[in-house]
Amino acid sequence: MKKFISFGIALPVAMILVIWSCGTDSTEEAEVPQVYSFNPTPYVIPDVAYFPKNLNIPSDNPMTIEGVELGRYLFYDGRLSGNTSKDMLMSCATCHVQKNGFEAGMDNPRFINGKTFGLPTEEYPEGEPTPNYMLPLVNSVYNQNGFGWNGFINESNEYRGNEEFNVPATKEFHYKNIESMVWMSITASHEMNSTIEKSVAAIDAIPMYKAKFKAAFGTEDVNYDRISKSIAQFVRSIVSYNSKFHKYLRQEADLTAQEKKGHDLFFSEDADCFHCHGGSVLMTTNEYFNNAKDKSFDPKEKNRFSVTGDPMDIGAFRAPSLINIELTAPYMHDGRFKTLDEIIDFYSEGLVYSDYVHPLMKNVRQKGVQLNDDDKAALKAFLLTLTDNELIQSPQYACPPELVKWNGQASVN
């Protein structure tokens, strides 16, 4: 129960848990032998004012406290890459770093021993860079509109596996949801550059996991399906609602006059950010837009058009959530902007017209919304109220102390 205390709503949650767990049967009936009882505790996403009620939790992967906890361990365990040698460890947390709002928050990160992102291959002995910059994992449980910068991971996708990485077209290797990111991260040459077999074998060989798999899934068996489900449960548990802005909405904090001015600019036609990044407390619509960065587009670019084939989507990417934006530079899918000042200058006077610009970039003909220096400073002050310091310090999402040495940390160049 202790882990809910940081939410400040320990008692109501505890009560819900008690009520719910009394009424719920085992979630994995098919797998559980009847000789002992398997009773994991449901994990409840906190019900916070103004946050969506509709959660993206697949029916075959209900969240449990034990599943989330196992997922946290696996998320931080560089041995998931199938490697045990110190200079080859890559975990989800190598790239998705808590103190950076679960992005890397750095440009061209390198492993401490000098290797770049992506484990070394023959072609890239120093490691292969990821095609795009990162996306944060925060509030993914509220996203119903596809994952990845172009939304290519979507519930409507068929099972298709991946021949290149020797991944069969079976049920667990899908391109549908957060679960999919696990096999993709393990096998992608620009990420862990491993195989499912190596990964499962490495985790299976670690004695402390046996009890955790049993607590989460009823038996000690380690398999890929369980690994992906538990990591996805942990990712879904990462919810952010304690920024100053969110507290202001709940009347638990005040904005300064300058922050309030920036807030009003953001949520009005004056700076005109809210159409794409507002709409809800998530600070994103999770929709895809061409936000007027470029004149022409490489037909091979993996933008939204590559997923939908709709010419309106040429050059379009998902508008990311701006929660914790202070911590997640560099910005845009290609990391072209390094600072919030550069971003604000871009939307103010740097827009580039093309036939594909989204109609909501209403001021593209004037190159932007034309903010003066005071407006720019106010808008920036508002963006800085979106940082959730409780999230980035919460032990609930942190690396378990016993895994620090297995995490595989990267550093700036």
Give contact residues for ligand HEC (rule: CB under 6 A).
Answer: 90, 92, 94-96, 117-118, 130-132, 134-135, 137, 140, 147-149, 178, 181-182, 185, 191-192, 231, 235, 271-273, 275-277, 289, 291, 317, 319-320, 322, 325, 328, 331-333, 343, 347, 358, 360-361
Cβ closer to ligand HEC: 242 or 348?
A: 348
Q: Give the whole-angstrom CA distance, residue 276 versus residue 263.
A: 15
Cβ closer to ligand HEC: 14 or 165?
A: 165
Q: What residues form DSSP beta bridges with 378?
A: none
Alpha helices in 56-195 (DSSP H): 65-75, 92-95, 178-187
- Work out the angle between the directed axes of helices 65-75 and 209-217 (0-180°, nearest 10): 140
Cβ closer to ligand HEC: 106 or 135?
A: 135
Cβ closer to ligand HEC: 13 or 240?
A: 240
CB burial class (10 A; 0-12, 13-18, 19+) of residue 55?
middle
Cβ closer to ligand HEC: 4 or 266?
A: 266
Minimum CB separation of residue 138 from ligand HEC in Å reads 9
Minimum CB separation of residue 309 from ligand HEC in Å reads 18
| Helix or strand holding residue 376 (H, E) | helix 373-384
Minimum CB separation of residue 29 from ligand HEC in Å reads 27
- Work out the angle between the directed axes of helices 178-187 and 224-237 (0-180°, nearest 10): 120
Q: Give the whole-angstrom CA distance, residue 33 versus residue 43.
A: 23
Q: Give the whole-angstrom CA distance, residue 379 versus residue 372.
A: 11
Minimum CB separation of residue 286 from ligand HEC in Å reads 8
Q: Write b or e for each residue in 335-348: b if 16 or more Cβ atoms lie within 10 A of its Cβ, otherwise e.
A: eebeebeebbebbb
Cβ closer to ligand HEC: 38 or 118?
A: 118
Minimum CB separation of residue 247 from ligand HEC in Å reads 20
Minimum CB separation of residue 175 from ligand HEC in Å reads 12
Minimum CB separation of residue 381 from ligand HEC in Å reads 12
Task: Using alpha carbons, list the distances in angstroms from residue 365 to 60, 215, 275, 340, 353.
Answer: 48, 59, 18, 23, 7
Which is it for strands 410-411 and 110-111: parallel, antiparallel or unpaired?
antiparallel
Cβ closer to ligand HEC: 13 or 361?
A: 361
